[in-house]
Chains A and B, each alone.
Chain A
Amino acid sequence: MTETAHQVATAAGTMPSVADLERMYWVMVTTTLADSRAQQEAKAGKLQAAFYPVRGMEAVCAALGAVLEPRDRLVSTYRNLGDVVAKGVPLKSIVAELYGRVDGVSKGKGGPMHLQDDEVGMTATTGVVGSGLPIAAGLGIAAQLDGDGKVVAVTFGDGATSIGAYHEGMNMAALWQLPVLFICQNNRWAEHTPLADYTAAPEFAQRAASYGMTARKVDGFDPIASWRALSEAVQAIRSGGGPVFLEFETYRLTGHTGTADYSYVPKDELARAMTRDPAPNFRTWLIDQGLVAAERLDAIEQEAESAVAEAFAFGAARPQPDVDQLHEDVFADKKLVLDLL
């Protein structure tokens, strides 16, 4: 794509700007690196936490980060690293929270399953599969009552499509035409069970459409296709079009947790998915299209590498919360808690 053709496409809203492309690449590389590092630390016993890798989903996360505004709200799950990086949560605060340290985004009291940062609209993450959907519906009601065009996005894996909360949240959002963007990050595994073994109706977009909302399936390994679908959806929702459901087809490139056995995954399937590893493929594409020069991409990679190294050094070195934090924030008023002890 020539520079001019790209400018025309950007103006038409069919392509991200160069700045957005670079930022998306940064999110993808940072997520890939931080994810691998967290897995290493977990395997080495240095990060004593349940960490859920996001490898394979980097493109969807990066594209989402590029289309949401800071005021838009995001509700995520425990497989959230890509989401929180993309939404703009500072990396040091993320990693300190992974370690349960006082400088973590939730003062070390939430942990990796509950990364949250109100400053950037990272409103909640849940450790319970599917529970984010009804919460997003409620945030959608709030946004609808506010009437200011905010969008609420909620991410979840394909495994969430089986649980009751999923159905209830989707039905409510469609019923009241709530400004909610449902993002199914389909990595084809529900914990350790493959898609074919847990549903006879694997066409999630089709199922979503039957609730009475716009729904479509997108190639989640492709950051540009993802960006386009998300961008269109956010525009439609912002202008009052009601909820949209997008299913992003990806593949989980690592085990369920940072330390889990992954030998049961069919080798050929995994190898095929690996050829689509989002960050390296995006790099090649950006260079081939003449949109971002190799040197610039090298610089972004170096920046990401040092940011990740610095964040892990920071996180591991910071102190754990003081014992007086134990009863803080159970209720707004700590005295009520002390009275019960």
Chain B
Amino acid sequence: MTTLQTATAVETEKMSAAVAMNSALDLAMAKDDKVVLLGEDIADPIGGVFKVTKGLSTKYGKGRVRATPIAEQSIVGAAVGLALGGYRPVAEIMFCDFLTLASDQLVNHAAKLRYMSGGQSSVPLTVRTVVGNSRFGAQHAQSLEAWFMHTPGIKVVMASTPTEAKGLLTSCVFDDDPCLFIEHIHLEYTNKEEVPTGEVTIPLGTAAIKRPGSDVTVITYGPAVPWSLQAAETLAEEGISVEVIDLRTLVPLDLETVLESVGRTRRAVVAHEATQFCGPGAELAARITEELFGELEAPVTRVGATYAPIPFAKSLRAIPDADDLVDAVRRITGQ
């Protein structure tokens, strides 16, 4: 097993996030026969519409890799049942938007059964889903992670690199609580990097400083990480040193890393693709303000999607990008 911090001279291969997650599931299924997959179109030959489960039904059989009817409520409901029955199900919900159809099972059951049963039940299920503006329109584009952060009892995880996607997904599969693992449609295939071929785990609740800096801290996660790093690069040319923190998991939340960083830089911007209004950034801004009010040089600022459904027309941009973040940093650094 490789934990990223201690990885030395392990065998690697160039992988996209989709391939890295496929490897994570493959290794998890090989290691533990209680790992079972279910979701729409996930069996071969298609192997999932995003190909994350490609080859797994051929390798492990259709008993453990189940292509389901188009019925999200029963996909997540069955995952709850499997978890109660001693298995570690990984359910694929094709788009984050379709979690609306499964939210009774996720919110009212998966998240609450341990609590309501006085600790009798464990619900070790993982729901994998995809966000990101994908040219499908407003019903295939929403970043709904804040809804689930707002539901006690469910962990919320978003990776930004192939290696982390593999490590975080593995941790979710073997976690004893329900985990929502949110992928990003553009990150699935675009970035490739050397990823360990063996098992990788990244403990849930550990943020990573992706770029050290001293003037301002950008707190971000998932698809906003690449464009936050891009913004930091632009700002460096202007002489502004930006520290970029990738939260990696939203619940549990590594506030310690965030507060330590902002304590140093004394300025913070939270950047994400979820709707800014009542988004994850609101909670982070409140926490930072509560803990570090006297030390801040400027109000904590947020960069998130504007308050509108995700538009189809390209002229209408709801989701922020590097330029928006650059502007926000300039504002709070007085540039």
Map CB proximity to A onto B64-79 as digits: 1 under 8 Å, 0 otherwise: 1010110101101111
Q: Is B48 among interface residues, defined by CB-CB distance under 8 A?
A: no
- Residue in A133, A139, A146 with the greatest tally of chain B CB atoms within 10 Å: A139
Q: For the complex formed, measure the closest distance between the CB of B13 and the CB atoms of chain A, giving whole angstroms.
A: 31
Q: For the complex formed, measure the closest distance between the CB of A320 and the CB atoms of chain B, giving whole angstroms.
A: 13
Q: Contact check, B153 vs A330: say whether CB atoms are below 8 A apart.
A: yes
Q: Which residues of B contact A331 (CB under 8 A)?
A: 114, 153, 155, 177, 252
Q: Is A54 among interface residues, defined by CB-CB distance under 8 A?
A: no
Q: Is B126 among interface residues, defined by CB-CB distance under 8 A?
A: no
Q: For the complex formed, measure the closest distance between the CB of A71 and the CB atoms of chain B, giving whole angstroms.
A: 12
Task: Say which one of B80-88, B136-144, B227-235 lies at the interface with A.
Answer: B80-88
Q: Contact check, B77 vs A168: say whether CB atoms are below 8 A apart.
A: yes
Q: Which residues of B contact A56 (CB under 8 A)?
A: none
Expressed in whole angstroms, the Cα–Cα distance for A337 and B152 within the complex equals 9
Expressed in whole angstroms, the Cα–Cα distance for A169 and B117 within the complex equals 23
Question: Among residues 182 to 201 in chain A, which have CB atoms less than 8 Å away from a CB atom of chain B?
Answer: none
Map CB proximity to A onto B171-203 as digits: 1 under 8 Å, 0 otherwise: 000001100000000000000000000000000
Expressed in whole angstroms, the Cα–Cα distance for A184 and B332 within the complex equals 62
Task: Out of A73, A124, A168, name the residue touching B74 (CB < 8 Å).
Answer: A168
Q: For the complex formed, measure the closest distance between the CB of A201 and the CB atoms of chain B, giving whole angstroms.
A: 20
Q: Is B89 among interface residues, defined by CB-CB distance under 8 A?
A: yes
Q: Contact check, A137 vs B118: say whether CB atoms are below 8 A apart.
A: no
Q: Which residues of B contact A105 (CB under 8 A)?
A: 118
Expressed in whole angstroms, the Cα–Cα distance for A123 and B121 within the complex equals 8
Q: Is A269 among interface residues, defined by CB-CB distance under 8 A?
A: no
Q: Is B6 among interface residues, defined by CB-CB distance under 8 A?
A: no
Q: For the complex formed, measure the closest distance between the CB of B77 and the CB atoms of chain A, giving whole angstroms.
A: 2
Q: Contact check, A106 vs B120: say whether CB atoms are below 8 A apart.
A: yes
Task: Out of B80, B115, B118, name the residue touching A138 (CB < 8 Å).
Answer: B80
Q: Contact check, B84 vs A139: say whether CB atoms are below 8 A apart.
A: yes
Q: Which residues of A contact B80 (CB under 8 A)?
A: 134-135, 138
Q: Contact check, B82 vs A106: say whether CB atoms are below 8 A apart.
A: no
Q: Which residues of A contact B211 (CB under 8 A)?
A: none
Map CB proximity to B onto A93-132 as digits: 1 under 8 Å, 0 otherwise: 0000000000011111111001011100001101110010
Q: Is the interface of B mostly helix, strand, loop or mixed?
A: mixed
Q: Contact check, A137 vs B116: say whether CB atoms are below 8 A apart.
A: no
- Measured CB to CB, the nearest residue on chain A to B80 is A135
Map CB proximity to B onto A298-341 as digits: 1 under 8 Å, 0 otherwise: 00000000000000000000000000000011111000110110
Expressed in whole angstroms, the Cα–Cα distance for A127 and B152 within the complex equals 18
Q: Which residues of A contact B252 (CB under 8 A)?
A: 331, 336, 339-340
Q: Evaluate whether A137 and B121 lie within 8 angstroms (CB atoms) in the complex, with A142-B85, A145-B36, A331-B177 already known.
A: no
- Measured CB to CB, the nearest residue on chain A to B175 is A332
Q: Is A21 among interface residues, defined by CB-CB distance under 8 A?
A: no
Q: Evaluate whether A330 and B114 lie within 8 angstroms (CB atoms) in the complex, with A116-B120, A131-B109, A168-B74 already known.
A: yes
Q: Which residues of A contact B118 (CB under 8 A)?
A: 104-110, 329
Expressed in whole angstroms, the Cα–Cα distance for A105 and B116 within the complex equals 10
Q: Which residues of B contact A109 (CB under 8 A)?
A: 115-118
Q: Which residues of B contact A73 (CB under 8 A)?
A: 85
Q: Evaluate whether A143 and B119 lie within 8 angstroms (CB atoms) in the complex, with A124-B113, A126-B109, A331-B114 already known.
A: no
Map CB proximity to A onto B246-281 as digits: 1 under 8 Å, 0 otherwise: 000001110100000000000000000000000000
Q: For the complex formed, measure the closest distance between the CB of B218 and the CB atoms of chain A, giving whole angstroms.
A: 22
Size band of the interface chain B makes with A: 35 or more
Q: Contact check, B120 vs A169: say whether CB atoms are below 8 A apart.
A: no
Q: Is A165 among interface residues, defined by CB-CB distance under 8 A?
A: yes
Q: For the complex formed, measure the closest distance between the CB of A339 and the CB atoms of chain B, giving whole angstroms.
A: 6
Q: Is A246 among interface residues, defined by CB-CB distance under 8 A?
A: no
- Measured CB to CB, the nearest residue on chain B to A169 is B74
Expressed in whole angstroms, the Cα–Cα distance for A169 and B252 within the complex equals 32
Q: Contact check, A114 vs B117: say whether CB atoms are below 8 A apart.
A: yes
Q: Which residues of A contact B86 (CB under 8 A)?
A: 142, 146
Question: Among residues 108 to 158 in chain B, which have CB atoms less than 8 Å away from a CB atom of chain A?
Answer: 108-109, 113-122, 152-153, 155
- Measured CB to CB, the nearest residue on chain B to A102 is B118
Task: Out of A110, A143, A176, A330, name the residue touching B85 (CB < 8 Å).
Answer: A143
Task: Out of B76, B85, B109, B122, name the residue touching A139 (CB < 8 Å).
Answer: B85
Q: Which residues of B contact A17 (CB under 8 A)?
A: none
Instruction: List B residues at the A interface (Cβ < 8 Å).
Output: 36, 38, 63-64, 66, 68-69, 71, 73-74, 76-87, 89, 104-105, 108-109, 113-122, 152-153, 155, 176-177, 205, 251-253, 255
Beyond the given A137-B78, A139-B85, A339-B205, please list 19 additional residue pairs across the A-B interface where CB-CB is below 8 A: A73-B85, A104-B118, A107-B118, A116-B117, A124-B121, A127-B108, A128-B109, A134-B73, A135-B105, A138-B77, A138-B81, A145-B87, A146-B85, A165-B104, A168-B69, A172-B69, A176-B66, A332-B114, A336-B252
List 30 A–B pairs whose Cβ atoms lie within 8 Å, in order of A's numbering: A105-B118, A106-B116, A106-B118, A109-B118, A116-B117, A117-B120, A118-B121, A124-B117, A126-B108, A127-B108, A128-B104, A134-B78, A135-B81, A136-B81, A137-B81, A138-B79, A138-B80, A138-B85, A140-B81, A141-B36, A141-B81, A142-B85, A143-B85, A146-B85, A146-B86, A328-B119, A331-B153, A331-B177, A332-B122, A340-B253
> Across chains A and B, which 5 residue pairs bring their CB atoms closest together, nearest first?
A138-B81, A134-B77, A142-B85, A107-B118, A138-B78
Instruction: List A residues at the B interface (Cβ < 8 Å).
Output: 73, 75, 104-111, 114, 116-118, 123-124, 126-128, 131, 133-146, 152, 164-165, 168-169, 171-172, 175-176, 328-332, 336-337, 339-340
